C-alpha cells in the first residue's frame, strides 16, 4: 500500500489486526499495535477491542489485561463490548473475583447491559458459584434485562445434578 502512495488509516489497520487475530497470530498483531502507538495513528477503542478479544481467545489473559488497563491510561473509555470480552476471559481462567470487580467498576461510567450480565452470570454458573449468580440474576431482572439461552442452558445443566438449584438461585 505504502509503495503505491496510499497511507493506511485506522480502518485499514483494524481490518489487518482483526485478520491476524482470527488467524491466531497475536505476536504480529501486537507488533503492529506497537508501530501504531509510535506513529501519528494512535490506536482507538476499536483497535484495543480487537486485540483484547484476540488475546483472550488464545488464552493470553495477562497480555489482554495489560491492554485493558492501558486503555484507561491513554484516556480511552472502554465500552460494554470491551468489558464483556475481558470478563469472559477472566471467567474462563476461573478468576471470578477479578471478573466481579471489573463488572462492578463498570458502574462508574459504562453501565453493564444485558450481555455483560449474562456473561458474568455464566462465569459464576460454570464455576458453580450459585450465590453470586443468584444475586446478579435478580439484579438484572430488576433492571428489566433477561437471561439469555446460554444462561438458561447452564441452569438446566446444573439442575440435572442438583434438584435444589432453582431454590438456591431464588428465581
Ligand X SMILES: *[C@@H]1O[C@H](CO)[C@@H](O)[C@H](O)[C@H]1NC(C)=O
Find the part of the chain contacting ligand X (CB under 6 A) among 41-49, 107-115, 129-137, 146-154. 146-154
Q: Is 114 exposed, middle or buried (0-12, 13-18, 19+ CB in 10 A)?
A: middle
Are 10 and 47 spatial neighbours (Cβ–Cβ below 8 Å)?
yes
Find the part of the chain contacting ligand X (CB under 6 A) among 6-14, 27-35, 106-114, 148-156. 148-156
Find the part of the chain contacting ligand X (CB under 6 A) among 11-19, 30-38, 48-56, 147-155. 147-155
- The correct pick among 77, 138, 157, 170 for binding ligand X (CB under 6 A) is 157
- The correct pick among 39, 77, 101, 150 for binding ligand X (CB under 6 A) is 150
Residue closer to ligand X, measured from CB, 57 or 126: 126
> Residue 93's closest CA among 60, 48, 121?
60
Q: Nine-digit cell at 154?
A: 447452564
* DSSP label at residue 58: T
H or E, element range at 24: none
- The correct pick among 153, 166, 170, 171 for binding ligand X (CB under 6 A) is 153
Amino acid at each position: 500500500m505504502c509503495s503505491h502512495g496510499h497511507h493506511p488509516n485506522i480502518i485499514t489497520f483494524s481490518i489487518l489486526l482483526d485478520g491476524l487475530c482470527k488467524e491466531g497470530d497475536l505476536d504480529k498483531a501486537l507488533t503492529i499495535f506497537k508501530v501504531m502507538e509510535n506513529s501519528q495513528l494512535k490506536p482507538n477503542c476499536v483497535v484495543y477491542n480487537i486485540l483484547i478479544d484476540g488475546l483472550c481467545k488464545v488464552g493470553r489473559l495477562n497480555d489482554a489485561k495489560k491492554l485493558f488497563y492501558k486503555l484507561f491510561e491513554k484516556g480511552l473509555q472502554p465500552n460494554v463490548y470491551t468489558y464483556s470480552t475481558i470478563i469472559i476471559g477472566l471467567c474462563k481462567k476461573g478468576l471470578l473475583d477479578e471478573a466481579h470487580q471489573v463488572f462492578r467498576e463498570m458502574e462508574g461510567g459504562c453501565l453493564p447491559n444485558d450481555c455483560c450480565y449474562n456473561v458474568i452470570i455464566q462465569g459464576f454458573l460454570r464455576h458453580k458459584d450459585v450465590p453470586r449468580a443468584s444475586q446478579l440474576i435478580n439484579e438484572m431482572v430488576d433492571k428489566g434485562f433477561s437471561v439469555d439461552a446460554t444462561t438458561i442452558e447452564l441452569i438446566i445443566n446444573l439442575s440435572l445434578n442438583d434438584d435444589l438449584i432453582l431454590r438456591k438461585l431464588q428465581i
